[in-house]
Structure 1
Amino acid sequence: MSDTLLEQTRALHDDLEKLERVIVRDFKQDLKSHKDRLMQNHRVRKRLDSMQAAARKLIKIYDDDDGARKDEIAALAQSESGSFATFYDRLKEIKDYYKRFPTDEVTEAEDDEFLLKEEPRTEFSGDEGLGRYLDMHEHHQRFLNSKFGRKLEYFQFVGSFSSDLSAVPKPQKGSRQYKEYLEHLFSYLMLFYEKTQPLGQAAKQLVKLEQEIRVRWSAGEVPGWEDRGLGQVAGSSSIGLDMDAFETVEELESIGADRLKEALQGLGLKSGGTLKERAQRLYLLKTVPLTKLEAKHFVKGVIPPSETAATTGRQVDNKKAEEGALQVCLLESKIRKLAEILASVITETKGRIEKKQAQTYEELQAEQEEAEAELAPEEEEDEDEFVYNPLKLPLGWDGKPIPYWLYKLHGLNQEFKCEICGNYSYWGRRAFEKHFKEWRHQNGMRSLGIPNNKNFYEVTKISDAESLWKNIQDKAKGGFHPEVDEEFEDAQGNVYNRKTFEDLRRQGLI
């Protein structure tokens, strides 16, 4: 069965309605986890792209530039045998087709559940935490190892990578290294935004921003780029001095170092050195025109005036330099804009860096396991699956017995019983030590009328706890106790309490 233009139009409209219904059903889902919401946004973005593609095809059909649609409609209306004959011919063609292929359905099934559970593939690094945080380590290293960078901790760099662009010296901004750094940084931020906010409109905002920057650039109103990247032209400012009034270098020295410095800066010449060196440099203009002065006398970044400045070659060089400076300015502006859009993510990233610096190894490992479990594809649980566990080892996060070496390492084969807790068993030294501060042991001590403090640490028998508590109370009351307080001395002059002395004497040791 051949698809006519009218049938293609109907099918495209049907696809648009179907995609719209799927998007509505997807948004009606109650999703709580970050991963589910992210996958939902990517699914909707995919459907919107499909709708835009279908809409472009429909517009092309309705524009009918080749007249095919108009001819097809005319053929239906101007058939020699009448419109109904044409209709029945088409109907017969459709019936014959489905007689030959009876398994084909006229419309697709309405069950779109599989579309609502689809998980588009989105790659994130481990530090990005499924799009919650930025991973700026590579750009941090580029910044530290560059000529325009400075020493910054990673935490400081994440918070100031956009504002630091203004502090880069103007000569360094024209370098290839700086432009490549900006391109890599912008590409990463843009890719991260598209992965985490597929329904966002950052691209449109950046296009509008670029248009505004280009207008302000032409007027020389972009902060820091008033010279449009061409630098100061030597001699463009007035120095306010009549050089004909000075006959010697000494006369120039008389006007002072500050005045000489101001005059040299106005001409674009170097203004450093001693008073005499400044006067000599300015006095050169008495004999050598500014246009023929050697380039070594000019400040770096200042364009020396030349008699051929108006030539085509100079104009081409200036235009090329201005275009390169404009591209750098646009990249800087776009990075700052993306930093504003991702301000909440940057704040979360800084908080996570601080948290990681204070975490122990065990906490970092547990967090990594949680992240891996979140990224792992969900598998349907089989309730009837039998787990072979002859040693009765504890189960791990995956529902399988932990390795035996790990079981032995943590001492989980050692049983500790606590009579105070009702002969409850604790497996492993770590669990045993923790239980003294848990509610079960605290309730047991409270029932005995004994305070649960560090004096009773490691005491698990009721009789031991009561005896220790009695001794503590007796010591607190004071008084004379013969067995403990009465002292005896042997022939060598050693002093013992009564109980110890009698024990040693019975054994014949003294």
Structure 2
Amino acid sequence: MSSTLLEVTRSAHEEVERLERSIVKELQNSHATSKDSLFQSHRIRHMIDTITATTEKLVEIYEDKDNARKDEIAALGGQTVTGTNVFSAFYDRLKEIREYHRRHPAARVVNSNEEYEAMLKEEPVIEFSGEEATGRYLDLHELYNQYINSKFGEPIEYSAYLDVFSQPHKIPYKLKLTRQYREYIENLLEYLIYFFQRTKPLEDLDRIFSKVAMEFEEQWADGKVEGWEPEDQGNGHVPDQHTVIDLDLYSTVEELVEVGPEKLKEALAALGLKTGGTVQQRAERLFLTKHAPLEQLDKKHFAKGSRGSEQNGIAAAPQVNNWKEIALTESKINKLCQSLDETIARTKDNIVKKQALTYEEMEAEREDEDTHAESESDDDDQQIYNPLKLPMGWDGKPIPYWLYKLHGLGQEFKCEICGNYSYWGRRAFERHFKEWRHQHGMRCLGIPNTKNFNEITSIEEAKELWKRIQQRQGYNKWRPDLEEEYEDKEGNIYNKKTYTDLQRQGLI
């Protein structure tokens, strides 16, 4: 009977032993495909989680904080409130069993072995996107778009991004001190953890991260975290590389004023200090950090919300903790990438293979498919009637006309960048901007294939838009006043502006 605490305990022990035998039995089975092996791992993971939950319930019962187990054991020996009466306890328990069967007359014994046999044969539900191909490849397209459209990233191909996403330590530290970069690495870590749990369910991720955290604390204390090595830790200062401005090069506030307001603002923001005020006030505020650590500065110098809780009268500097959290996240990403190195290599090979597929090879595959379809048709002695010349479906027969009209497959789109190649239907047209043919055409034009150029199929329009983007961003902008050079009779070199001013003054 499961109504008593002791019966619940016995049932829980039985369930744990049955699950352990099921795990052993499952591990004795070998599978030919990686998909079946993955399903096996998830079934074992589910049984291990069930054992853990049941064991926690048993521990709670044995702790017996409410003395319920102790009272029930005493009742079995006849020790009731009225005294010791073995027969009374026996008949009370018998009455309880009869009452249970009176309420449940249709109750029957369930063969638990059949239930667990069915569990072994059940295929777990694992969510994989089409790009991930049941855990063989990574799907980093969203993170790739976030990377190339950020200030810390660069416009590179997806295949090249697969080489650099696992190396965040190579990004300059100044670009890491932004909310945009922090959101990017948090999203990257979240995806890698999710992918790792789906493809390697038997790995103990908590233990892996605990080891990473221990090693990280030692390296951070010694200043040996890759990409975050301090140049000067003296007197409790924040490392010089994180202050953006090297204060050792300036001996007075007046010299620091010459740096400029924007540079001072950037340095103050990196330290969590207030960035407002005049240039003189900013320089004075920043100059305070040269001879005193952040912990000794007055609270009024820090920006609102950037100060943590105070301990022993000394306020902490949360900005340093933020850097530490970013560095720890990078260490976790590096560890996961090391564990998934084979998957990363397979993903890159798959992308390169898709990009290297030439037009002739695609046409050859299409001809082979048509030949194969024709041979099957000849074998079946069936002649396909297709007067409207509709596209063929997966079964080798023309698709329905309503489906043809629904997807607009009669509408032709031409792309000059793809060599005037025709795309039929809006869906195929929108999808082709990410395919190899369009990417190759953009590379030939020397233009990065970003989302700014979606819906643009003309070469001239693409060049004109790229020119405007370059002008807006300051790329390849010719500044004759500063870059055009002039030489006087004595061989001195001046730019155009300086040379014109000296000539006007009669000095040349």
Length-normalised TM-score, structure 1: 0.57
Shift in CA distance, 234/141, structure 1 to aligned 2, threshold 3 Å: closer
Question: Which structure is richer in relative contact order (CA contacts within 8 A, separation 6 or more)?
Answer: 1
Shift in CA distance, 52/207, structure 1 to aligned 2, threshold 3 Å: same
Amino acid at match of 1:328: I
Aligned to 2:128: 124
Where 1:124 maps in the other structure, the secondary structure is: coil
Q: CA deviation at 1:295?
A: 6.0
2:260 matched to 1:296? yes
Amino acid at match of 2:124: P
Q: CA deviation at 1:335?
A: 0.6
Where 1:129 maps in the other structure, the secondary structure is: coil
Residue of structure 2 aligned with 1:327, choices 321, 325, 328: 325
Amino acid at match of 2:330: E
Query: Partners in 2 of 1:93 and 1:102 — Cα distance?
Result: 14
Residue pairs, 1:384-399, within 5 angstroms: 391=382
Q: Does the 8 Å contact 1:179/1:328 carry over to 2? A: yes
Deviations 1:265-318 (A, max 9, x none): 67244xxxxxxxxxxxx7xx4xx677x856639786487322896334258486
Query: Partners in 1 of 2:323 and 2:365 — Cα distance?
Result: 44
Query: Partners in 1 of 2:109 and 2:206 — Cα distance?
Result: 40
2:225 matched to 1:222? yes
Q: Does the 8 Å contact 1:234/1:305 carry over to 2? A: no
Shift in CA distance, 65/295, structure 1 to aligned 2, threshold 3 Å: farther
Aligned to 1:487: none
Residue pairs, 1:149-164, within 5 angstroms: 149-163=153-167
2:287 matched to 1:305? yes
Aligned to 1:6: 6
Shift in CA distance, 93/108, structure 1 to aligned 2, threshold 3 Å: farther
Query: Partners in 1 of 2:143 and 2:209 — Cα distance?
Result: 21
Shift in CA distance, 19/365, structure 1 to aligned 2, threshold 3 Å: farther
Aligned to 2:174: 171
Shift in CA distance, 353/363, structure 1 to aligned 2, threshold 3 Å: farther
Q: Does the 8 Å contact 2:31/2:37 carry over to 1? A: yes
- Cα RMSD of the aligned pairs, angstroms, is 3.6
Shift in CA distance, 141/66, structure 1 to aligned 2, threshold 3 Å: same
Q: CA deviation at 1:81?
A: 5.6
Q: CA deviation at 1:188?
A: 0.6
Where 2:288 maps in the other structure, the secondary structure is: coil
Q: CA deviation at 1:357?
A: 2.3
Aligned to 1:64: 64
Aligned to 1:347: 345
Amino acid at match of 1:47: M
Shift in CA distance, 39/363, structure 1 to aligned 2, threshold 3 Å: farther
Q: CA deviation at 1:148?
A: 0.8
Aligned to 2:397: 403
Query: Partners in 2 of 1:402 and 1:45 — Cα distance?
Result: 42
2:216 matched to 1:213? yes
Aligned to 1:267: 248
Aligned to 2:32: 32
Length-normalised TM-score, structure 2: 0.58
Shift in CA distance, 175/266, structure 1 to aligned 2, threshold 3 Å: closer
The sequence identity of aligned pairs, in percent, is 36
Q: Does the 8 Å contact 1:356/1:364 carry over to 2? A: no
Query: Partners in 2 of 1:69 and 1:234 — Cα distance?
Result: 60
Shift in CA distance, 392/18, structure 1 to aligned 2, threshold 3 Å: farther
Aligned to 2:240: 232
Q: CA deviation at 1:156?
A: 1.8
Q: Does the 8 Å contact 1:233/1:268 carry over to 2? A: no
Query: Partners in 1 of 2:175 and 2:246 — Cα distance?
Result: 21
Query: Partners in 2 of 1:58 and 1:173 — Cα distance?
Result: 48
Shift in CA distance, 343/155, structure 1 to aligned 2, threshold 3 Å: same
Amino acid at match of 2:50: S
Structure 1: where are the runs of 5+ without partners?
236-263, 270-281, 367-388, 394-399, 407-510
Shift in CA distance, 223/151, structure 1 to aligned 2, threshold 3 Å: same
Query: Partners in 2 of 1:87 and 1:106 — Cα distance?
Result: 24
Q: CA deviation at 1:403?
A: 1.8
Report the structure number with the largest CA radius of gyration. Answer: 1
Aligned to 2:139: 135
Report the number of matched residues. Answer: 332
Q: CA deviation at 1:151?
A: 3.0
Range with bigger deviation, 221-230 or 21-30: 221-230
